[in-house]
């Protein structure tokens, strides 16, 4: 079983379908896009995740992403803000808004290793590291 990425976004009647498409493609440019009248789907493999990984690293939100990304069996599931994605910003959200979000589901033979790849644990900045206390 290889890594499979499935991205879904509803296209609301009040939304411009081209903007929803742009939002999703900003985050997942390597995926295979399928557009319907009321939603779009992107399917891809491991390579489809490279841009997401880089964006999480650039924004320095890997720790926060780990908190929100949910491992369920062989899957990792999370939501991304459509509005943020439209302006090329990755923003994970904990629950859907009335406008809807971008739903991401990743199936992997080792979801924990994949989570470690996408959002590795970052060691907290320890201010006291290397501090030597001298008592006279």
Domain ranges of the chain: 4-118
> Which CATH code is given to the segment(s) 4-118?
3.30.1440.10
Percentage of the residues of the chain whose pLDDT score is greater than 70: 89
Please spell the DSSP secondary structure of 88-110, one letter per residue.
T---EESS--TT--EEEEEE-SS
Say how far apart CA 34 and CA 55 lie, in whole Å: 23
Query: Which residues on adjacent β-strands are paired with residue 33?
Result: 42
Say how far apart CA 114 and CA 118 lie, in whole Å: 6
3-state DSSP helix/strand/coil percent for the chain, to nearest 5? 30, 25, 45
Say how far apart CA 119 and CA 129 lie, in whole Å: 24
The candidate with the shortest Cα–Cα distance to 17, out of 29, 31, 35, is: 35
Look up the pTM and report it: 0.86
Q: Mention every residue, 6+ apart, whose C-beta is less than 8 A from residue 50.
A: 30
The predicted-structure confidence for 48-105, as pLDDT tens digits, reads as follows 999 999 999 999 999 999 999 999 999 999 999 999 999 999 999 999 888 889 999 9
Percentage of the residues of the chain whose pLDDT score is greater than 90: 82
* Long-range CB pairs of 119-128, under 8 A, 24+ apart, other chains included: 119/53, 119/56, 119/62, 119/63, 119/65, 119/66, 119/69, 120/62, 121/62, 121/63, 121/66, 122/62, 122/63
């Amino acid at each position: 079983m290889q890594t499979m990425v499935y991205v879904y976004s509803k296209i609301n009647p009040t939304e411009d379908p081209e903007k929803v498409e742009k939002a999703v493609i900003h985050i997942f440019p390597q995926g295979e896009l399928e557009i319907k009248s009321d939603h779009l789907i992107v399917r891809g493999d491991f390579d489809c995740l490279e841009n997401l990984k880089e964006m999480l690293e650039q924004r320095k939100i890997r720790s926060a992403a780990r908190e929100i990304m949910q491992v369920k069996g062989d899957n990792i599931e999370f939501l991304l803000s459509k509005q943020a994605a439209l302006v090329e910003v990755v923003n994970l959200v904990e629950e859907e808004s009335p406008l809807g979000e971008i739903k991401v589901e990743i199936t992997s033979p080792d979801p924990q290793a994949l989570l470690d790849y996408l959002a590795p644990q970052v060691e907290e900045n320890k201010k006291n590291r290397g501090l030597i206390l001298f008592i006279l």
